[in-house]
Structure 1
Amino acid sequence: MRFKLIVAMVEDELTDAILEAARHAGSTGATVINNARGEGLKKAHGIFGMEITAQRDMLLFLAEEHRSRHILEAIAQVGEFDETPGTGIAFQLDVEDAVGVKSQIKSLSESSD
């Protein structure tokens, strides 16, 4: 079985909605890393010229290859990444090998039967 790693950097208030959308799209779980920091092309400055950095969450999904694009599209739709600049990004990477996913493989095999 081949896997993809989907990485999403999202505004923390969108995390729960994106996790729910990913689950409905076929995700079997995720890892959430809180307090990530992101910067766009231009740094945002507030009062007195101080730099503003919004909190982000990093969401990691190890997804079966055939489901990964569907999950990625669901994440992008809920996060409105293309419609609203600065809300986040998501991308997927090939996973060469993985261990500790035996139960996920079993669950995926049973759901495709």
Structure 2
Amino acid sequence: MRFKLLIALVSDEKTDEIMRVAREAGATGATVVGDARGEGLNPKKTFFGLTLESQRDMLLFLVEEHLSRKILERIAEAAGFEKNPGSGVAFQIDVEDAIGLGGQIMCLLDEVEDEL
């Protein structure tokens, strides 16, 4: 089985919704890194050096490659990336190797067979 790493950077109030839609699309779990910071095309305003914007979370999903695009599209839709510039970003990268997924592979086999 081959895997992709999906990385989504979203406002923290969207994290639960993103997790829900990713699971519905086939993700078996995620790692959430809270309080991520970033800066887009237009820097945000500050007040005495404090940024006046909500915190971001970084969500890391290790998913089977046949499910990755569907999950990525659901994340983008739920987060409103296309409708709301600056609302976040999500992307995928190839995973060369992974260890520790034995329990998830059995769960994925049935679902991936339908995709092939």
TM-score normalized with structure 1 length:
0.91
**Structure 1 CA distance, aligned partners of 2:50 and 2:36?**
19
Q: Secondary structure at the match of 1:29?
A: coil
- What's the counterpart of residue 15 of structure 2? 15
Alignment check: 8 A CA contact 1:7 1:90 kept? yes
- What's the counterpart of residue 107 of structure 1? 107
**Structure 1 vs Structure 2: percent identity of aligned residues?**
57
Which deviates the most, 39-48 or 60-69? 39-48
- Cα distance per residue 1:31-85 (max 9 Å; x no partner): 1111111211121114568643431000000000000000000000000101101
**Structure 1 CA distance, aligned partners of 2:110 and 2:74?**
23
- What is the alpha-carbon root mean square deviation over aligned residues? 1.7
**Amino acid in structure 2 at the alignment position of 1:109:** L
**Amino acid in structure 1 at the alignment position of 2:98:** A
Alignment check: 8 A CA contact 1:18 1:78 kept? yes
Question: Where does the alignment leave 5 or more consecutive residues of structure 1 unmatched?
Answer: none
**Amino acid in structure 1 at the alignment position of 2:75:** I
1:44 aligns with 2:57: no
Q: Structure 2 vs 1, CA of residues 50 and 59 (structure 1 numbering), >3 Å: closer, same or farther?
A: closer
**Structure 2 CA distance, aligned partners of 1:88 and 1:105?**
30
Alignment check: 8 A CA contact 1:44 1:53 kept? yes
TM-score normalized with structure 2 length:
0.89
- What's the counterpart of residue 70 of structure 2? 70
**Structure 2 CA distance, aligned partners of 1:69 and 1:80?**
16
Q: Secondary structure at the match of 1:44?
A: coil
Q: Secondary structure at the match of 1:42?
A: coil
Alignment check: 8 A CA contact 1:9 1:58 kept? yes
- What's the counterpart of residue 60 of structure 2? 60
